[in-house]
Homo-oligomer: A and B are copies of this chain.
Amino acid sequence: MPVPKDSQNKISFQIHLRKIPLLANLSEDEMRQVMTDLRIRTYAKRDVVLQKGASGDSLLFLLSGQLQVIDVTEDGRAIGLRMLAPGDFFGEIAVINGSTRSASVVALSPVMVALLPRNTALHLFSHSPSVANHMLRFLAEKVQRDSQFRALLSIHNTAKRIYTFLELLKEKKDGDVEVVENLPTHQDIANMINTSRETVTRTLLTLVQQGIIEKGTHRLIILDPAALQKLAQT
């Protein structure tokens, strides 16, 4: 989502903001308020955009570039949680709760970010039906994924934990192919599901040899979804 270089060009900028799903259905009045309050910032590759533990005084939108959400475990290991793409918002939990940032966000490329002050964001959350709806769905899905993830962590068998993890991450793409996009590193997967990097590497390799999955660049194609499902369930 490229942004016009001259951000005084309000009309063109407004069209770009309409491409952000959370803001797509704002009324004209609401959009004007957002345009007035929004601040633009750029970051270089490897910059820390949000720091876990810092105070949370704005909602952020990624306008261009790529960001990664990173959590640091109790014993100090960094876990790459998820990738953000242009049009995504982030930092909503601290805005809603008035709490500190619950994870860090770092730039994987040069990025352009828009910041909406907390009060404007909170007003939209509770007074714009389309925004309220969008936020509730977003958070409910997060809660649901977290609860599936918790169920996963209680699986004793490590290989089965990895199969189930892939089942959770997979999405249907064009032509009904099932893929895992932005596959975390083997070390990140190991940290997330409480096993070793070696076990992750060995288990994925076995799945490749069995023709169940195929590895691409940062993605994984599931060639035999039924077989994977069966492995996860038995």
Residues in chain A within 8 A of chain B (CB atoms): 71, 73-75, 77, 79, 92-93, 96-97, 99, 102-103, 122, 125-127, 129-130, 132-133, 135-137, 139-144, 146-147, 149-156, 160, 164, 191-192, 194
Other-chain residue from B139, B149, B155 in contact with A136 (beta carbon distance below 8 A): B139
So how many copies of this chain end up in the complex?
A: 2
Contacts of A143 in B (CB 8 A): 93, 102, 139, 142-143, 146
CA distance A147 to B145 in the complex (A): 11
Contacts of A132 in B (CB 8 A): 125-127, 132, 136
Q: Are A194 and B154 in contact (CB under 8 A)?
A: yes
Other-chain residue from B96, B122, B129, B140 in contact with A126 (beta carbon distance below 8 A): B129
- Residue in chain B with minimal CB distance to A97: B140
Contacts of A137 in B (CB 8 A): 96-97
Other-chain residue from B71, B135, B140, B152 in contact with A74 (beta carbon distance below 8 A): B152
Q: Are B141 and A140 in contact (CB under 8 A)?
A: no
Shortest Cβ distance from residue A34 to the other chain B in the assembled complex, whole angstroms: 18
